[in-house]
Amino acid sequence: MRKYIIHSIFLFAIIAIIISCQNQETIDLQNYMSNGKDIYKTRCQNCHGENGEGLGKLAPPLTDSVFLKNNKTRLACIIRNGTNEKMTINGKEYQEKMPAFPELADIDVAQVMVYITNSFGNNQGFVPYNKVSIHLQNCK
C-alpha cells in the first residue's frame, strides 16, 4: 500500500512538471506573439499587409502554411537577410527583392517569425529563440 502511494505521488509530480512546462511554453508563446506583432507592424506590414495578404505580385502573402512549414529553417534567414530568390507561394510565382533587416536581434527575429507562423491562418506553434539563433548561424 505504501509503495502504491509513493508511486502515485511520483506519477503525479511528473504530470505536474509536464503541465507546468507546457504552461511556461504557452506563456512564452504569448510573449513572442505580442512582441512579434509589434515588430510585424513596423517592419513587415507595409508590404505584406495587415492580415498577411501581400501586395499584388510585389510582395507574397504569408498565408501559405505549406511553404512556411517546408522552409521552417530558412524563415529566420529570410527575415534577417532579405531575399531575391524566386518563390512559389499559394501556387503563384514571386520574384521581388525583400530588404534585409540586419538591425533585428535574434530574439526579434524569433518573435516575429513565431508571430507570422501562428497568425493569418497559420498554426505552427512555438520556436524558442536559441533554436532560431542556430538557424541564423547556418544561413547561406
Partner 1 sequence: MNKIISSIAICLLSIAILSSCKQDKKLPFYGERHAETVRDAAGVEKIDTVYQTIPNWAFLNQDSVLTTNKATDGKVYIADFFFTSCSTICPTMHRNLMTVYNEFKTNPEVMFVSHTIDFKYDKPSVLKKYAQKLGVDGKKWQFLYGSKDSVYTLAEKNYLVAVGEDSTAKDGYIHQGYLVLIDKDRRIRGAYDGTKEDQVEQLKKDIPVLLAEYKK
The per-residue DSSP string of 109-132 comes to HHHHHHHHHTSTT-------HHHH
Closest approach, Cβ 82 to partner 1, in A, equals: 9
Contacts of 104 (CB under 8 A, 6+ apart): 39, 43, 79, 80, 112
Count of residues touching partner 1 (by CB under 8 A): 13
Q: Which of 96, 106, 107, 122 binds partner 1 (CB under 8 A)?
A: 96
Q: Which of 1, 2, 4, 58 binds partner 1 (CB under 8 A)?
A: 58
56 binds partner 1 (CB under 8 A): yes
Closest approach, Cβ 17 to partner 1, in A, equals: 46
90 binds partner 1 (CB under 8 A): no
97 binds partner 1 (CB under 8 A): yes
For residue 128, count other CB atoms closer than 10 A to its CB: 14
57 binds partner 1 (CB under 8 A): yes
Is the CB of residue 122 less than 8 Å from the CB of residue 68? Answer: yes
Q: Which is nearer to partner 1, 36 or 54 (CB)?
A: 54
User: Measured at the alpha carbon of residue 105, what is the angle toward residues 120 and 72, in degrees to the nearest 5?
Assistant: 45
